[in-house]
């Protein structure tokens, strides 16, 4: 079942809602949509979990306003979906850009509602390098990505997709994944990258005491494995689950292991 939920700011946010049982809310990465979690959507309802996939503002079937792509605005959108669906005790799972948005949501709205936090190849606590944080790409590299998107968005997304996986995948699969990115708005794609480039959540990690699991590929070229180490160093009640043969797209590179580990932590 699909829901269209209006936020306080007047934007419509789409959420896919499948199955019954304990809700697991998924936040996708840049620049795709909830459809990237197809292989989790296929499995979780079989095991008594309710899959809820939110399309962030600017992506998938959600509204694509001219601005509003900060982590605060995206966390507000998640908050309105959670309120509309009446969720009280649920699991929050954020992938890549969805990771820092999940952290921001936790600290603004979710500490009393979320029973477990899953951060998957999270672009957190900071996506780009800065003082005392030598991890990830340089801000100038993010600026170059923005320029490439402005010049030729399909080609830029194709190049980004080439960095996404450590394992070989079929051409039809890669085309499917590529087209998920094309469903986003151009301006939303750019402004979400600006948020990734600029926002810093290092001071927000210590506020989270929720049981947290950090899924991360050790061959990740987009959000290096150092990110996972930084997150677990900041969130006290956290555990890293490494994926030795995965790049950024760990739920595709090691699909069976990912789903097994996901079900294990959900059932624990």
Domain residue limits, the chain: 2-267
The predicted pLDDT at position 9 comes to 87
The predicted pLDDT at position 106 comes to 98
Distance separating alpha carbons of residues 38 and 9, to the nearest angstrom: 29
The predicted pLDDT at position 8 comes to 86
Concatenating the DSSP letter of every residue in 89-100 gives SEEEEEETTHHH
- Residue for token digits 């989270």? 208
Domain range 2-267, CATH class: alpha beta
Contact 49, 21 (CB under 8 A): yes
Between the CA of residue 268 and those of 31, 143, 175, 176, what are the distances in Å? 31, 42, 36, 33
Q: Taking the model in full, what pTM does it have?
A: 0.98
The residues, ordered by sequence, that sit 6+ positions from 141 with a Cβ below 8 Å of its Cβ are 128
Distance separating alpha carbons of residues 163 and 193, to the nearest angstrom: 16
Contact 143, 136 (CB under 8 A): no
The predicted pLDDT at position 224 comes to 98
Q: Where are the alpha helices (DSSP H) in 5-123?
A: 38-41, 71-85, 98-105
Active site residues: 96, 220, 248
- 10-residue block means of pLDDT along the chain (268 residues)? 91 97 98 98 98 98 96 97 96 98 96 96 98 96 97 96 95 96 98 98 97 98 98 97 98 98 97
């Amino acid at each position: 079942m699909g829901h269209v939920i209006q936020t306080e700011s007047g934007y419509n946010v789409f959420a896919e809602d499948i199955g019954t049982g304990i809700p697991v809310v998924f936040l996708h990465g840049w620049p795709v949509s909830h459809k990237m979690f197809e292989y989790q959507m296929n499995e979780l309802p079989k095991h008594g979990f309710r899959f809820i996939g939110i399309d962030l503002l600017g992506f998938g079937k959600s509204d694509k306003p001219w601005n509003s792509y900060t982590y605060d605005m995206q966390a507000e959108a998640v908050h309105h979906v959670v309120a509309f669906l009446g969720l009280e005790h649920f699991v929050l799972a954020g992938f890549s850009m969805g990771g820092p948005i999940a952290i921001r949501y936790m600290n603004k709205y979710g500490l009393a509602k979320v029973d477990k936090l899953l951060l998957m190849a999270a672009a957190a606590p900071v996506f780009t390098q800065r003082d005392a944080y030598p991890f990830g790409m340089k801000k100038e590299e993010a600026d170059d990505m923005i320029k490439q998107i402005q010049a030729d968005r399909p080609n830029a997304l194709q190049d980004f997709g080439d960095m996404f996986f450590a394992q070989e995948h079929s051409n039809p699969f890669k085309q499917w994944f590529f087209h998920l990115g094309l469903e986003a708005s151009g301006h939303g794609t750019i402004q979400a990258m600006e948020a990734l480039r600029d926002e810093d959540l290092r001071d927000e990690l210590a506020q989270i005491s929720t049981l947290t699991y950090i899924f991360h590929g050790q061959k990740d070229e987009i959000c290096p494995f150092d990110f996972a180490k930084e997150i677990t160093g900041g969130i006290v009640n956290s555990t890293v689950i490494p994926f030795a043969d995965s790049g950024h797209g760990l739920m595709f590179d090691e699909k069976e292991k990912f789903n097994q580990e996901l079900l294990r932590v959900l059932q624990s």
